[in-house]
């Protein structure tokens, strides 16, 4: 039989926590955009006929695109509309907000804003 090998005893060294040097870069503290971004209350109303049935009240950040507001209006009408035009405070075809811009780029920053919209109905919406 071969001789048994003796187990060598390793000395247990106490492990110290490594201390890191402070960073040489100035890293800014993370701020959650959902908390930091200002929000605006939108009251969205149909131009004609004036009724509370087609009034939508939502709270959105100012980084929201006007196109997303078009989608919310379309959902309210269950997708049976197209060609949505949205204006601020009063409805005029010259003052229509660009769907590719954000609310901030359109000059909407805070408070309660009244938006008016008009649309074109889809002919035979069930067929599409």
What pLDDT is recorded for position 104? 95
Closest CA to 109 of 58, 43, 62: 62
How far is it, in rounded angstroms, from Cα 9 to Cα 92?
89
Q: Which 3 state secondary structure label does DSSP give 28?
A: coil
Average pLDDT, rounded, for the chain: 86
Mean pLDDT of 14-23: 70
What pLDDT is recorded for position 10? 54
In 17-108, alpha helices (H)? 33-36, 66-76
* Domain spans in the chain, listed from the N-terminal domain onward: 33-127
Q: Give per-residue pLDDT as tens, 69-90.
A: 999 999 999 888 999 999 999 9
The model's pTM: 0.73
Examine the pLDDT at 60 and tell me if it is beyond 70.
yes
Residue 60 Cα distances to 4, 41, 49, 63, angstroms: 76, 7, 26, 8
Q: How confident is the model at residue 61 (pLDDT cuts 50, 70, 90)?
A: very high
Residue 80 Cα distances to 21, 33, 126, angstroms: 62, 34, 8
Domain 33-127, second-level architecture: Roll (3.10)
What pLDDT is recorded for position 125? 55
**What is the CB neighbour count within 10 angstroms for residue 102?**
16
């Amino acid at each position: 039989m071969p001789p048994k090998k003796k187990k060598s005893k390793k000395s247990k060294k106490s492990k110290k926590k490594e201390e890191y040097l402070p960073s040489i870069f100035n890293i800014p503290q993370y701020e959650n955009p959902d908390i930091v971004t200002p929000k605006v209350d939108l009251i969205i109303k149909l131009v004609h006929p004036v009724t509370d049935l087609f009034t939508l009240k939502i709270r959105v950040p100012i980084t929201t695109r006007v196109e997303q507001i078009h989608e919310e209006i379309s959902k309210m009408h269950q997708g049976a509309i197209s060609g949505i035009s949205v204006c601020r405070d009063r409805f005029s075809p010259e003052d229509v907000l660009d769907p590719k811009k954000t609310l901030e780029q359109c000059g909407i920053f805070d408070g309660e804003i009244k938006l008016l919209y008009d649309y074109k109905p889809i002919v035979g919406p069930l067929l599409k």
